[in-house]
A and B are shown apart, each in its own frame.
Chain A
Amino acid sequence: MTDIAEAFAAAFSLVYHLDSDLGEIVLLSLQVSVGAVAVASAVGLPLGAAVALFRFPGRGAIVVILNALMGLPPVVVGLVVYLVLSRAGPLGVLGLLFTPTAMVIAQVLLVTPIIAALARQVIEDLWVEYEEQLRSLGATPRRALMALLWDGRVSLLTAVLAGFGRAIAEVGAVMIVGGNIDHVTRVMTTAIALEVSKGDLALALGLGIVLVALSIAVSAAAALLRGTLAQGRPR
């Protein structure tokens, strides 16, 4: 019992004194996950909207695959990216393995299906409501898609947040392709895993506290943003 209490005390002291190691790890985590979510949104939102709007052969299969990929095991994605980026792999010449870029790539693969699948659902529901009106106004598919993405912004923000939640909390993929190298590729989740196995519960707990606080901060910020975005909503 006292162990846990001590660990908590040490953890709070680390957070309180803005321990530089801790700060570095938190910053890198944010950089990797925010970067991955930005790329995944840029790809996933239009992709989801396109699958929602257009009827083409194989569309049903794509919907099933997208939904299935939402639950992609991170370690498997990590392994695949590892194989591709490793020296003998097809992209080995780029020398990206064990760099933050490799971690971003792995997280993009994990997060894009989540954002795309959720966006598809949001846009498909909106399309039912908007289709005849947009066609009557003479909207081209591209303009219709942009209008739907903008009008679905509140719900789509939730999809992006779900993606961020997945990215920031994920261990397996970043551990494999990043390697958890101190000062280079160590992020919160990999550091927690390492410190726990080493028995340094204080740092692990400190990171855990930051991670949870960060999640709360992000969803609070999103709630505020949603309030601003929601102006044009029905009463």
Chain B
Amino acid sequence: MTVPSILPLELRAVSFERDRQRLLKSVSMRVASGPKTIIMGPNGAGKSLLLRLCHGLIAPSEGTVLWHGAAGRDPLRFQAMVMQRPVMLRRSVAANIDFALSLRRIPRPERRQLIADALERTGLGAFARVPARVLSFGEQQRLALARSWALHPQVLFLDEPTANLDPAATHVIEGVIEAMAEEGTKIIMTTHDLGQARRLADEVMFLHRGRLLEHAAAGTFFAGPQNELASAFLRGELLWWERRELTPPRA
């Protein structure tokens, strides 16, 4: 790839408010190309919001999102995102990928090969002509990945891509993510699945109630997080006790 990277990505004191609730509180971070970044944290920590902010789908209420390598280019064109519930258009599997490629103005003759490759590498080769909406949830998730792969993005955001999948489907998805990372795509992914984080992460960010509490290399983080809440999370202790409106679990 001769195209220069849009990374590193930097967030400067980014906050996000909705209905007067501060859902992300002054998050500052910097991610460079290379290591797979996994964002962890309990439900409602703000993981999805953080991804969508980075991807540019929502604008921060305060602070700035910077793509240092963008150099005047539209950074969105070099990113892709796999949503928690990916939306498939009501057309065939292949046509869904074709649509995404055509939006990036990739000429038609090139698209055919990109589609075939992406489908093959995600194991969807046999489904090319099947209407996308008849696929099972796991297959649609794979199609979302195939669609992203065909775009060959520099940065791929994944929002809990295996949240509702069985172990076999999860295994396939994780394989695809690894393969994309090996091809040089920067992976930034949220999960609340500890096992998955251990399998995939090169570096971990721990988010809790809208605050970025820890950002460390995976080895360091899993060996012993600096933050008390992060270590409680790793021990599998539910972080409910932080929420005053809920009764604490009894020992």
A232 touches B131 (CB 8 A): yes
Of B87-95, B177-185, B195-203, the one touching chain A: B87-95
State the CA gap A138–B52 with chains docked (Å): 14
State the CA gap A151–B104 with chains docked (Å): 20
Residues B70-110 near A (CB distance < 8 A): 76-77, 79-81, 83, 86-87, 89-92, 99-100, 103-104
Residues of A contacting B80 in the complex (Cβ-Cβ under 8 angstroms): 136-137
State the CA gap A134–B77 with chains docked (Å): 13
A218 at the interface (CB under 8 A from B): no
Chain B interface mostly: mixed
State the CA gap A153–B80 with chains docked (Å): 27
**Residue from A132, A147, A153 in contact with B99 in the complex, judged by beta carbons closer than 8 Å:** A147
A235 touches B134 (CB 8 A): yes
Residues of A contacting B146 in the complex (Cβ-Cβ under 8 angstroms): none
B211 at the interface (CB under 8 A from A): no
**Known: A151-B90, A232-B131, A234-B133. Is A137-B103 also a contact (CB below 8 A)?**
yes
Residues A90-117 near B (CB distance < 8 A): none
State the CA gap A106–B107 with chains docked (Å): 44
A132 touches B134 (CB 8 A): no
**Known: A129-B87, A133-B86, A138-B104. Is A232-B99 also a contact (CB below 8 A)?**
no
A139 at the interface (CB under 8 A from B): yes
Residues A127-150 near B (CB distance < 8 A): 129-130, 132-140, 143, 147, 150
Residues of A contacting B104 in the complex (Cβ-Cβ under 8 angstroms): 138
B133 touches A232 (CB 8 A): yes
B55 at the interface (CB under 8 A from A): yes
Interchain pairs with CB closer than 8 A, number: 53
**Known: A132-B83, A232-B131. Is A139-B103 also a contact (CB below 8 A)?**
yes
State the CA gap A139–B77 with chains docked (Å): 10
Residues B39-93 near A (CB distance < 8 A): 52, 55, 57, 76-77, 79-81, 83, 86-87, 89-92
A137 touches B100 (CB 8 A): yes
State the CA gap A130–B57 with chains docked (Å): 12
B6 at the interface (CB under 8 A from A): no
**Known: A129-B87, A136-B57, A150-B90. Is A233-B133 also a contact (CB below 8 A)?**
yes
B132 at the interface (CB under 8 A from A): yes
CB distance from A157 to the nearest CB of B (A): 13
Residues of B contacting A136 in the complex (Cβ-Cβ under 8 angstroms): 55, 57, 76, 79-81, 83
A133 touches B83 (CB 8 A): yes
CB distance from A231 to the nearest CB of B (A): 5
State the CA gap A140–B79 with chains docked (Å): 16
Residues of B contacting A235 in the complex (Cβ-Cβ under 8 angstroms): 133-134
Residues B11-44 near A (CB distance < 8 A): none
Residues A21-59 near B (CB distance < 8 A): none
- Give the A-binding residues of B (Cβ under 8 A): 52, 55, 57, 76-77, 79-81, 83, 86-87, 89-92, 99-100, 103-104, 131-134
29 A-B pairs whose Cβ atoms sit less than 8 Å apart in the complex: A129-B87, A130-B87, A132-B52, A132-B57, A132-B83, A133-B87, A136-B55, A136-B57, A136-B79, A136-B80, A137-B99, A137-B100, A138-B76, A138-B77, A138-B103, A143-B103, A147-B89, A147-B99, A150-B89, A150-B90, A150-B91, A153-B90, A231-B90, A231-B134, A232-B91, A232-B92, A232-B132, A232-B133, A235-B133
Q: A151-B90, A234-B133 are in contact. List 9 more A-B contacts (CB 8 A).
A: A133-B83, A136-B83, A138-B77, A150-B89, A153-B90, A232-B133, A232-B134, A233-B133, A235-B133
